[in-house]
Structure 1
Amino acid sequence: MQTTDVILKICEPPSSSECNGIAEIYNSIGWGGNYSHGEINAMYARGYHAILRSSGTVAGVVRAFGDDYSVTWLAELAVHRDFQGKGLGSVLMRELLNSHGHTAVYADVLPGQEGFFAKFGILPRSTLTTCSRAATTRGSQIKGQ
């Protein structure tokens, strides 16, 4: 990693260029969705997030939610395909744990990624099962849409 790598903790909605970068990350890893700036701003309006830039390019993001006391749920950790394998995901995880390591951290992990999360002490638990529901209408709660 170069010294030009910077993590930005943002307490306000991402800028237009950051929204474009986040959408590019999602598309590069197959999450797609063609998210609008309004949708990305809505997704990043609450909870914790960090945006990692490498040489000025938005290269990775991490988002999490919790009570800042006992529990944190990792919503996503995503690194643009062109920047994978360079340790940026680890930088983002360390940043999350520096901010929220005082809480239990939970993550739904895609198959094959368990080893990455295990490096940070986030381990599979046989007593936990992930349950979910698909969104019924994406964007219905975004103001102005």
Structure 2
Amino acid sequence: MKLKDVMTTHVRGISADESVRNAAEAMSQMQVGSLPVFRDGKPIGIITDRDIVVRCVAAGLDCSQTPCRQAMTGELITLPETTDIEAAASAMEERQIRRLLVTGENYDIVGIVSVGDIAANSGSQKVCAELIERMSVPAEPVRFEAVQ
């Protein structure tokens, strides 16, 4: 099975200069967890719900005034739509990412695929569980002692 068989098409993006708040509102309306970020019609990054929380909200920034380019993940991972889902899963696992953009013949963005899309279409509950387990390598959390 190829990425083109499991990806979400008609991906809406957001301008790098748009506010993080606008990105969050768009994600909420579309019920998605990420948006590609564009500058001059070209993708330059991706902003995720986690990016918004960690890089904007937790940092104390004003989401209405902070541009997406400041909170986005700049390393954009793309794969061609003809990539096998197994190869895509390996690439996602290697980079510890949960979403990637899918490109067409002209290297334009034609879709987005998540680890959930791949897992749900793997055809096997065992493969699905293994994929999610491999993608869920926990980070060592910072522990705080309770103040009394």
Q: If the length of structure 1 is used for normalisation, what is the TM-score? A: 0.30
- Quick one: higher RCO (CA 8 Å, sep 6+), 1 or 2? 2
**Greater C-alpha radius of gyration:** 2
